[in-house]
Amino acid sequence: MNFKSLAIWSLFVVASFSIGACQDYGFEEVPSSVIRAKRKTYDIAIAQKVDILFVVDNSRSMVGEQTAIAQSFQVFTDILDEKFGEGKYQIAVVTTGMESTDCGQCPPDDPNYYSCVNETGENGRFQDRLGHNVGTVDKPEFEFVTDSSCKIMDSSNISRCFYDRDKDQGVIFTGVNGCGYERGLAPIKAALSEPLISSYNVTPTSTFLRPDAILAVVVISDEEDCGEVGDVTEGISGIRGKVCYYAANGEGPDGSFSDPKEGRLYKLEPVRNYYDFLMGLKDNKDGYVKFATIAGMEDESNPSATKITFESDDPNAAPVPSCTTPNCTNQSGYCNAFPGTRYIALANLFGDNGFIGTICKDDFSDVLEKLGTFVACPTEFKLSEKILDPAFANILVNGVDVPRYSCSGSTKDNVEICSGPNDDSCSAGNCIETWTFIPPGDPPESDAPGGKIIFAPHYNPCDLITEGEVHIEVVYITP
pLDDT tens for 126-143 read 999 999 999 988 888 899
Residue 374 has pLDDT above 90, yes or no: no
Q: Considering its fold, how many domains does the chain have in total?
A: 2
Provide the edge-to-edge strand list for the sheet that holds 7-14.
39-46, 7-14, 469-475, 394-397, 400-401
Q: Are residues 140 and 229 in the same domain?
A: yes
Per residue in 321-364, pLDDT (tens digit) is 999 999 887 756 689 999 999 999 999 999 878 999 999 998 99
Cβ burial of 378 (10 Å; 0-12, 13-18, 19+) is: buried
Choose the final residue of a domain: 376, 411, 434: 376
| Residue 212: predicted pLDDT | 84
Confidence of residue 22 (pLDDT cuts 50, 70, 90): very low
Task: Report the distance separating Cα 440 and Cα 452, nearest Å.
Answer: 7
Q: Are residues 27 and 150 in the same domain?
A: no
Considering Cα of 155, then 160, then 163, then 165, what sign does the dihedral take? positive
Name the DSSP letter for residue 426: -
Domain-embedded: residue 321: yes
Mean pLDDT of the chain: 85
| Residue 380: predicted pLDDT | 72
Of 32-41, 258-267, 373-382, 395-404, the poorest mean pLDDT is in 32-41
Task: Report the distance separating Cα 455 and Cα 434, nearest Å.
Answer: 6
Confidence of residue 35 (pLDDT cuts 50, 70, 90): very low
Name the DSSP letter for residue 164: B
| Residue 147: predicted pLDDT | 96
Q: The whole model's pTM is what?
A: 0.81
| Residue 232: predicted pLDDT | 98
- Would you tell me the crossing angle of helices 365-376 and 63-83 to the nearest 10 degrees? 40
Apex CA 356: angle with CA 355 and CA 362, to 5°? 125
- What is the rounded average pLDDT of the residues 147-176? 95
CA-based nearest residue to 5, from 409, 405, 370, 413: 413
Of 6-10, 29-33, 98-102, the poorest mean pLDDT is in 6-10
Sequence length of the chain is 479
Residue burial 430-444, b: 16+ Cβ < 10 Å; e: rest:
ebbbbbebeebeeee
Q: In sequence order, which residues have a C-beta less than 8 Å from that of residue 191 and are 6 or more positions away?
A: 53, 92, 94, 124, 125, 126, 197, 201
Domain-embedded: residue 2: no
| Residue 138: predicted pLDDT | 83
Q: For residues 176 and 142, is the Cβ–Cβ distance under 8 A?
A: yes
Pairing of strands 214-220, 289-295: parallel
E strand map for 278-379: 289-295, 323-324, 336-337, 354-358
Choose the final residue of a domain: 337, 354, 376: 376
Q: Are residues 322 and 413 in the same domain?
A: no
Q: Are residues 120 and 252 in the same domain?
A: yes
Total H helices, total E strands in the chain: 8, 19
Residue 311 has pLDDT above 50, yes or no: yes
Task: Report the distance separating Cα 260 and Cα 238, nearest Å.
Answer: 11
Q: For residues 123 and 98, is the Cβ–Cβ distance under 8 A?
A: yes
Domain-embedded: residue 440: yes
Per residue in 56-106, pLDDT (tens digit) is 999 988 988 999 999 999 999 998 988 787 888 999 999 999 999 999 999
Q: For residues 302 and 337, is the Cβ–Cβ distance under 8 A?
A: no
Domain-embedded: residue 424: yes
| Residue 12: predicted pLDDT | 34
CA 184 to chain centre: 13
Q: Are residues 369 and 461 in the same domain?
A: no
CA-based nearest residue to 58, from 1, 159, 129: 129
Name the DSSP letter for residue 271: H
Q: Are residues 314 and 249 in the same domain?
A: yes
Residue 196 has pLDDT above 90, yes or no: yes
| Residue 391: predicted pLDDT | 78
Q: Are residues 399 and 268 in the same domain?
A: no
Q: Are residues 390 and 307 in the same domain?
A: no
Task: Report the distance separating Cα 379 and Cα 365, nearest Å.
Answer: 18
Percent of the chain exceeding pLDDT 70 equals 85
Percent of the chain exceeding pLDDT 90 equals 62
Greater model confidence, 356 or 26: 356
CA-based nearest residue to 11, from 479, 462, 478, 364: 462
CA atoms within 13 A on the CB side of 212: 7
Task: Report the distance separating Cα 41 and Cα 183, nearest Å.
Answer: 32
Domain that holds residue 123: 50-376
Q: Are residues 177 and 265 in the same domain?
A: yes
Q: Are residues 222 and 328 in the same domain?
A: yes
| Residue 130: predicted pLDDT | 97
| Residue 7: predicted pLDDT | 25
Name the DSSP letter for residue 377: -
Domain-embedded: residue 1: no
Residue 452 has pLDDT above 70, yes or no: yes
Confidence of residue 31 (pLDDT cuts 50, 70, 90): very low
Confidence of residue 313 (pLDDT cuts 50, 70, 90): very high
Among the ranges 133-147, 304-318, 365-379, which has the highest mean pLDDT value?
Answer: 304-318
Domain-embedded: residue 361: yes
Domain-embedded: residue 44: no
CA-based nearest residue to 120, from 92, 139, 140: 92
Per residue in 262-304, pLDDT (tens digit) is 999 999 999 999 999 999 999 998 778 999 999 999 998 899 9
CATH number, domain at 90?
3.40.50.410
Residue 166 has pLDDT above 90, yes or no: yes
- Residue 291's identity, in one-letter code, is F
Domain-embedded: residue 75: yes
Confidence of residue 5 (pLDDT cuts 50, 70, 90): very low
Task: Report the distance separating Cα 400 and Cα 152, nearest Å.
Answer: 41
Q: Are residues 268 and 406 in the same domain?
A: no
Confidence of residue 1 (pLDDT cuts 50, 70, 90): very low
Cβ-based neighbour number of residue 27 at 10 Å:
19
Residue burial 115-134, b: 16+ Cβ < 10 Å; e: rest:
bbbbebebbbbbbbbbbebe
Per residue in 44-68, pLDDT (tens digit) is 555 678 999 999 999 988 988 999 9
Q: Are residues 304 and 422 in the same domain?
A: no
Choose the final residue of a domain: 327, 351, 376: 376
Terminal C-alpha separation, the chain: 32
Residue 476 has pLDDT above 80, yes or no: no
